Amino acid sequence: MARGCPFDPPTDLTRLRDTDPITRVSLWDGSTPWLITRHADVRAVLADRRFSADTGRPGYPAVSASTLARRRTAPSFIGMDDPDHARLRRMLIGEFTVRRIGTLRPRVERVVTDLLDTMAAGPNPTDLVEAFALPVPSMVICEMLGVPYADHDYFQEHSRALLDTRTDPAEAVRRTEELRDYLAALVAARESEPADDLLGHLTERYVLTGALSRTEAASMALLLLVAGHETTANMIGLGTLTLLRHPAAAAQVRDGEPALVNAAVEELLRLLTVTHTGRRRVATEDVEIDGVTIRAGEGVIAAGDTANRDPAEFAHPDELDLHRESNHHVAFGFGIHQCLGQPLARLELQVAYPALLRRLPTLRVAAPLEEIAFRDEMAVYGVHALPVAW
């Protein structure tokens, strides 16, 4: 669908939410799943276990042929149902608790400070994505996993190809296998040389005990590596562009108390919803949602971007309101499959936005909006580059 304002959901989606909130749509493969666009209905679908997240089920509405191919090559727990989903997710829950992620704050602050020092001493203008937005979460997730950041060009190039909906399926499979094999080699190294990082913990607790194969552990790490840097990087870039277009809000984030900064992060997550291809499911039995019967075997797309702009849930939903009293957004999903890494993403954003605005108080966008390339073709929305000056 054509997008109007690059910060808003496509106008056709917004119209459907207001006039035909549960409707059939046509996908790339000729399938006609149901599109769910209202906040209450999206939450109902994502909380209902009669809707399966299993990407291998007939009727599952894949984003693209390449997405389907790569998920079949390296299955991850986000594309599974319980009990497999719960078994694999439990292996990671302890690594992503709010308390454990909170201990990473000093390290995240150091990463952000060092990058801003380098940026301030470097070329002006520069590309914020390359200089700051992408390195912040990449460095953090590499250190957390135990992946050498020196290899970031390699895995970032592969990630871009895997998230591009236009990638040829055979190319997606090749790149998935290469990245998985790269991570499997890191797991293998930890079998003989233990390490106090996430790959080391997976290896010691589950690979060496036979609960996970080396390939399964690598597939799990692949999900964390790609999702762990792509989503937050695009939220930093797109969120900064949004704040710079709202000077009063930017000033509040720069100078605000932690509670206000945290509220700003939640509001940007709601407003921008960078996971813009929807949460996808397939019904395992007949289910009625708001008077519409969805039959067993029919696919469903729960559109988070329109749900997060639903006026029935959010007053003045198209406005950036840092003082919004209620913000039950679905940017991280909802139900048992909601994003495991959300505490880490929140921490990185809570540190990155105010630090950037304080370190470079005269920061401004150095190109007209119409010259900025937005990531419409990618599974994670954002900007390909963001020229800034100060």
* Long-range residue pairs from 126-131, CB within 8 A, at least 24 positions apart, any chain: 126/387, 126/388, 126/389, 127/385, 127/386, 127/387, 127/388, 128/236, 128/237, 128/240, 128/386, 128/387, 128/388, 129/233, 129/237, 129/383, 129/384, 129/385, 129/386, 130/385
**Per-residue model confidence (pLDDT) at position 56:** 92
Between 3.50.50.60, 3.40.50.300, 2.40.50.140, 1.10.630.10, what CATH number should domain 11-381 receive? Answer: 1.10.630.10
pLDDT in tens, 178-212: 999 999 999 999 999 999 999 999 999 999 999 99
User: For 214-236, how does the pLDDT look when each residue is reduced to its tens digit (9 = 90+)?
Assistant: 999 999 999 999 998 999 999 99
Alpha carbons within 13 A on the beta-carbon side of 43: 10
What pLDDT score does 325 carry? 87
DSSP output for 160-203: HHHHBTTS-HHHHHHHHHHHHHHHHHHHHHHHHS--SSHHHHHI
Helix (H, G, I), strand (E, B) or coil at 302: strand
CA 257 to CA 277: how far, in whole Å?
Answer: 33
Angle at which helices 247-255 and 214-244 pack, to 10 degrees?
120
* Burial class of 18 by CB neighbour count within 10 A (0 to 12, 13 to 18, 19+): middle
Contact at 8 Å (CB) between 313 and 25?
A: no
Contact 300, 294 (CB under 8 A): yes
What single letter denotes the amino acid at residue 126? T
- What's the pLDDT score for residue 142? 97
Give the CA angle between residues 273, 276, 282 to the nearest 5°: 120
Euclidean distance between CA atoms 35 and 26, whole angstroms: 10
C-beta atoms surrounding 307 within 10 Å = 33
What was the pLDDT predicted at 4? 67
pLDDT for res 71: 87
Q: What sections of the chain are H helices per DSSP?
A: 11-19, 39-47, 65-73, 84-93, 98-102, 105-121, 128, 135-145, 152-163, 169-192, 198-202, 214-244, 247-255, 258-272, 304-307, 342-359
d(CA 144, CA 95): 9
Stretches where the chain sits below pLDDT 50 are none
- CA nearest to 275, candidates 254, 306, 320: 306
* CB of 115 closer than 8 Å to CB of 152: no
- The ranges assigned to domains in the chain are 11-381
Give the pLDDT confidence score for residue 334 in this predicted structure. 97
Residue with tokens 């929305």: 381
Structural tokens at position 316: 């003045």
Map residue 27 onto helix, strand or coil.
coil
**DSSP classification of residue 206:** I
**Locate tokens 């669908």: which residue?**
1
Residue 3's pLDDT is what?
Answer: 57
* Separation of alpha carbons 319 and 296, rounded Å: 38
Q: Residue 266: CB partners within 8 Å, gap ≥ 6?
A: 324, 327, 329
pLDDT at position 187 is 98
- Euclidean distance between CA atoms 104 and 137, whole angstroms: 12
At 385 the three-state DSSP class reads coil
What are the residues whose beta carbons fall under 8 Å from the beta carbon of 361, sequence distance 6 or more?
254, 390
